[in-house]
């Protein structure tokens, strides 16, 4: 699979979805649509040599679609925070929400994985989806449990977590280890008068990346020719350097996950990017289609999830996108495998399970055992 490596030249701005008044906050990492826009707009710009935008759209419609109405053959398959080089131990994704640690005490550095349990002594008089009878509980070893937030190395995710083994804190990083927030002051400009507007002082939070850190994008369906170059990313069109490279995930890591699922007949779907999914009980038409295509029958048992609101800016219409609720990256959905092969199930790694914008990288997921 091909990847585009991105290394920031300038501090970057990734706006959150809150209405802008006097402060523009950044989110990290940004939604996949930011990176899908990076790739699609670069292809469109390269096709727009004579300045005729409509003809440029028509010339690349098969490859990248048309505005936000169609996405063509383009597929964003993965977004990672990465360091220079191709060692997947230096590729990071949001930590799964079922990783917990001791809040205080001697075992603060020990990470545990919570699992669904059926506890008859608990009365689940809650608004749970029909069929869910188990909830994830922390192990008894944790007296003061709290969620282990941050980012986990892709290698540790496959080598440890997805086969049910506890990852080490050495394999995890916090946001502060990737970026530093820089608040900058600006004045709103009147584009007609080409002058600052009175009383329009604002601050914006930019992200300055630590040395050698940036992003890695996995993609499919397009013929990306440019081996390297400079382009812009995020708000205020800040510059980044990019180059084309290969991405390889060791087959033995996938095989170990498959063996775990085969033995236990249980698997989980872990989101690496936010996902628009209908509800917990049906998990969306996209999931059902992927299961059907791979001969999988499964029953949803439990989930460990968070939700967030995602907006953005539609450059095709030049207006803000409507806010939508999505399951956050790191959300985990637990299943029991009723029929089908584990070997076919793990082929769904890096598939997008979102009901909307899945071609743009929403709902990118990996498969693990539990």
pLDDT digits (tens, 9 = 90+) for 8-18: 999 999 987 66
The fraction of the chain above a pLDDT of 70, given in percent, is 86
Cα→Cα distances 109→91, 136, 148, 231, 304, Å: 21, 21, 10, 40, 22
Q: How many domains does the chain have?
A: 1
In a domain, 323, yes or no: no
Q: CA 96, CA 271: separation in Å to the nearest integer? A: 8
- Complete DSSP assignment for 115-156: EEE--TTS---S-PPTT---EEE--TT-SSEEE--SEEEHHH
Average the pLDDT over each of 39-48, 132-141, 193-202 and give the range with the smallest value. 193-202
Residue 202's pLDDT is 75
Task: Of 27, 357, 22, give the one whose Cα is nearest residue 201.
Answer: 22
Mean predicted confidence (pLDDT) in 90-110: 86
Task: Of 236, 170, 229, give the one whose Cα is nearest residue 206.
Answer: 236
Three-state DSSP class for residue 172: strand
Q: CA 29, CA 104: separation in Å to the nearest integer? A: 28
Burial of 9 (0-12, 13-18, 19+ CB in 10 A): middle
Report the C-alpha dihedral over residues 351, 354, 356, 359, rounded to 10 degrees. -10
Residue 195's pLDDT is 63
Average the pLDDT over each of 184-198, 256-270, 339-353 and give the range with the smallest value. 184-198
In a domain, 84, yes or no: yes
- Say if residue 281's pLDDT is above 60: no
In a domain, 324, yes or no: no
- For residue 165, what is the DSSP state? P
Mean predicted confidence (pLDDT) in 83-105: 89
Confidence category of residue 296, pLDDT binned at 50, 70, 90? very high
Average the pLDDT over each of 2-6, 22-26, 89-93, 189-193 and give the range with the smallest value. 189-193
Confidence category of residue 134, pLDDT binned at 50, 70, 90? confident
- Say if residue 309's pLDDT is above 90: no
Residue 199's pLDDT is 64
Residue 324's pLDDT is 85
Q: Are 345 and 296 in contact (CB under 8 A)?
A: yes
Mean predicted confidence (pLDDT) in 125-154: 80
Q: Which two tokens stand for residue 293?
A: 């295509």
Residue 123's pLDDT is 62
Q: CA 77, CA 216: separation in Å to the nearest integer? A: 11
Which of the pair, 60 or 53, is modelled with greater confidence? 60
Confidence category of residue 252, pLDDT binned at 50, 70, 90? confident
Q: Are 335 and 266 in contact (CB under 8 A)?
A: yes
Mean predicted confidence (pLDDT) in 293-319: 84
Confidence category of residue 297, pLDDT binned at 50, 70, 90? very high
Domain range enclosing 241: 2-90+176-246
Confidence category of residue 78, pLDDT binned at 50, 70, 90? very high
- Complete DSSP assignment for 37-63: HHHHHHHHHHH-TTS-HHHHHHHHHHH
Q: CA 66, CA 104: separation in Å to the nearest integer? A: 53
Average the pLDDT over each of 3-12, 18-27, 44-53 and give the range with the smallest value. 18-27
- Say if residue 258's pLDDT is above 80: yes
- Say if residue 280's pLDDT is above 60: no
In a domain, 135, yes or no: no
In a domain, 254, yes or no: no
**pTM score:** 0.90
In a domain, 77, yes or no: yes
In a domain, 209, yes or no: yes
Mean predicted confidence (pLDDT) in 313-321: 70
In a domain, 64, yes or no: yes
Number of Cβ atoms within 10 Å of the Cβ of 217: 23
């Amino acid at each position: 699979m091909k990847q585009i490596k991105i290394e920031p030249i300038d501090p970057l701005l990734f706006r959150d979805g809150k209405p802008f008044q006097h402060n523009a906050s950044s989110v990290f990492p940004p939604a996949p649509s930011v990176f899908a826009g990076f790739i699609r707009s670069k292809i469109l710009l390269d096709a727009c040599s004579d300045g005729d935008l409509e003809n440029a759209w028509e010339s690349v419609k098969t490859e990248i679609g048309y505005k936000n109405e169609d996405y063509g053959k383009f597929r964003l398959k993965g977004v990672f925070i990465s360091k220079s080089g191709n060692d997947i131990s230096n590729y990071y994704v949001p930590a799964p929400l079922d990783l917990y640690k001791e809040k205080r005490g001697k075992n603060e550095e020990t990470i545990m994985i919570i699992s669904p349990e059926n506890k008859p002594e608990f009365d689940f008089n809650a608004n749970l989806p029909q069929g869910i009878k188990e909830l994830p509980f922390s192990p008894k070893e944790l007296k003061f449990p709290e969620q282990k937030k941050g980012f986990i190395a892709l290698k540790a995710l496959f080598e440890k977590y997805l086969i049910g083994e506890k990852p080490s804190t050495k394999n995890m990083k916090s946001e502060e280890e990737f970026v530093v927030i820089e608040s900058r002051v600006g004045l709103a400009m009147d584009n007609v008068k080409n002058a600052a507007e009175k009383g329009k002082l604002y601050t914006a939070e930019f992200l300055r990346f630590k040395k050698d850190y940036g992003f890695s994008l996995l993609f499919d369906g397009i013929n990306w020719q440019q081996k390297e170059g400079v382009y812009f990313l995020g708000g205020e069109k800040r510059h980044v350097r990019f180059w084309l490279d290969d991405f390889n995930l060791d087959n033995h890591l996938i095989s170990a996950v498959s063996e775990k699922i085969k033995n236990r007949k249980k698997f989980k779907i872990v989101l690496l990017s936010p996902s628009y999914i209908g509800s917990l009980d049906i998990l969306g038409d996209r999931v059902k289609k992927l299961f059907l295509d791979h001969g999988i029958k499964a029953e949803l048992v439990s989930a460990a999830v968070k939700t967030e609101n995602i907006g953005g800016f539609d450059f095709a219409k030049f207006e803000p996108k409507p806010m939508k609720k999505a399951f956050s990256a790191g959300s985990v959905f637990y299943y029991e495998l009723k029929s089908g092969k584990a070997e076919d199930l793990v082929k769904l790694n890096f598939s997008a399970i979102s009901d909307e914008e899945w071609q743009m990288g929403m709902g990118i997921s990996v498969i693990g055992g539990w």
